[in-house]
Amino acid sequence: MENDLRPTTRRAFLSDVTTLGIVVGGTALVGCSPQERKADSAAAAPQAKGAPPNELHRNADSKLDTSLQKGGAHGNLSGTGAPGAANVPFQRYDPTLPPLSTDRTLRLHWHAREVPLRISDDTVIAAWTFEGNTPGPIAHCRVGDTVEFTLTNDVDIPHSMDFHAAQIDPKVAFRSVAKGQSVTFTYKPKYAGAFMYHCGTAPVLMHIGSGMYGAIIVSPAEPLPPAKEFVLVQGEFYLSDAANGVRASDYQKMLTTIPDFVVFNGRTNQYVKDPIRAKLGDRVRFWVVNAGPTHPCNFHVVGEQFDTVYLGAPPSGAIKGVQTFSVAPGGGMCFDLVCDVLGEFPFVNHGFGHGQKGAIGFLAVEA
């Protein structure tokens, strides 16, 4: 991503704007939209209940601390030529499960970053991310492997990492780290499955709702039947109106629990335009994680039936001949189907108010 689009602090933002005010001869906030002014006044509002009395925690709204302010409206006003939302390309999220390494230790060093992210042809959001994408990277290991994880925080707001695949003291391992600092922990996943990871910094709703989540897939020690394996992470977006083409996350809207978009792998309808592909006779395995933050993912494939759904850690708890199964927010499940019919099969959140908001794609079964 362009450095110009990297985050700035609210203080730096206000100082930039003040400078601009002098340059253009207006008031200090001349460059601000009404929305940004509202966000600014909201900074004085009480902080999230239970959050530490730390100034950095007070900004429970990404309008205050994201790329929006510097790379957006004020980039243009300042005449720096900073690229706006139009320059943020759409990038399909590859749903393919990455192969297992022969090394029995998975070493991950990720950074918390803020980036502008195009989630559809006409929507760019100010995303909070792990490694510059929402969802973050797909991690893949086996039961018995060791995961060595480090998070480094590149931005002003504290962040953290909570792996649902771990059994570990959360106060120590999942603690928040300030800008420039890191946290490292190691764990051995005990069970196979599709596990969510997410930032656990308060308010968690804001951090997950702004894009800080992803999937770690833990394969069983004994391999499952060979399959084409894909990962789908359902997420929800709650967005403010655009400022210079970029929409920030809206915490108050998250509390209403009525999302603007519900998506698989961070983009609306991306696998409608560019389907997930399999061949006739293939077994297809969807590892479905529901990042929420609030709603279930009622997973269904139109015109197909699941050969197997694993209720517990695969291969245990296998049930056969399933039409739809709900994955809870914060949960993950494994769905197998056998492609014995040619065609394009929509996979959907069959809670259709949410399917209609973007949680839909195609599985194309080809000869």
With vertex at residue 217, the alpha carbon angle to CA 144 and CA 90, rounded to the nearest 5 degrees, is 150
Nearer to Cu ion among residue 140 and residue 207 (C-beta): 207
Nearer to Cu ion among residue 43 and residue 338 (C-beta): 43
Cis upstream peptide for 34 (omega within 30°): no
Helix (H, G, I), strand (E, B) or coil at 37: helix
Q: Out of 143, 199, 224, 333, point to the residue binding Cu ion (CB under 5 A).
A: 199
Kindly state the smallest distance separating residue 199's Cβ from Cu ion, in Å: 3
Tell whether residue 207 is a contact of Cu ion (CB under 5 A): yes
Beta strands in 95-173 (DSSP E): 105-120, 123-130, 139-142, 146-153, 162-163
- Interface mask (CB under 5 A) for Cu ion, residues 292-331, using x and -? ----------------------------------------
Amino acid at 314: P
- What are the DSSP calls for 216-236, one per residue? EEEE-SSPPSP-EEEEEEEEE
Nearer to Cu ion among residue 62 and residue 269 (C-beta): 62
Span near Cu ion by CB under 5 A; candidates 138-146, 201-209, 243-251, 320-328: 201-209
Nearer to Cu ion among residue 164 and residue 350 (C-beta): 164
Distances in Å between the Cα of 226 and the Cα atoms of 29, 222, 223, 229, 355 are: 60, 11, 8, 9, 29
Name residues contacting Cu ion, limited to 59-78 (CB under 5 A): none
Beta bridge partners of 239: 249
Tell whether residue 113 is a contact of Cu ion (CB under 5 A): no
Rounded to whole angstroms, the Cα distance separating 65 from 149 reads 26
Tell whether residue 350 is a contact of Cu ion (CB under 5 A): no
Q: Out of 9, 67, 201, 244, point to the residue binding Cu ion (CB under 5 A).
A: 201
Kindly state the smallest distance separating residue 234's Cβ from Cu ion, in Å: 19
Kindly state the smallest distance separating residue 207's Cβ from Cu ion, in Å: 3
Count of residues that bind Cu ion according to CB under 5 A: 5
Q: Which helix (H) or strand (E) holds 292?
A: strand 283-292
Nearer to Cu ion among residue 199 and residue 337 (C-beta): 199
Q: Decide: 189 and 218 in contact? Cβ < 8 Å.
A: yes
Instruction: Outline where the chain has alpha helix (H).
Output: 10-24, 34-42, 55-58, 67-71, 73-77, 170-173, 204-209, 251-256, 270-273, 352-355
Q: Out of 10, 57, 159, 357, point to the residue binding Cu ion (CB under 5 A).
A: 159
Nearer to Cu ion among residue 67 and residue 201 (C-beta): 201
Kindly state the smallest distance separating residue 96's Cβ from Cu ion, in Å: 27
Tell whether residue 212 is a contact of Cu ion (CB under 5 A): yes
Span near Cu ion by CB under 5 A; candidates 72-80, 199-207, 226-234, 358-366: 199-207
Nearer to Cu ion among residue 201 and residue 268 (C-beta): 201
Cis upstream peptide for 293 (omega within 30°): yes
Q: Decide: 341 and 304 in contact? Cβ < 8 Å.
A: yes
Tell whether residue 254 is a contact of Cu ion (CB under 5 A): no
Nearest to 135 by CA among 87, 195, 83: 195
> Which residues of this protein are in contact with Cu ion, per CB under 5 A?
159, 199, 201, 207, 212
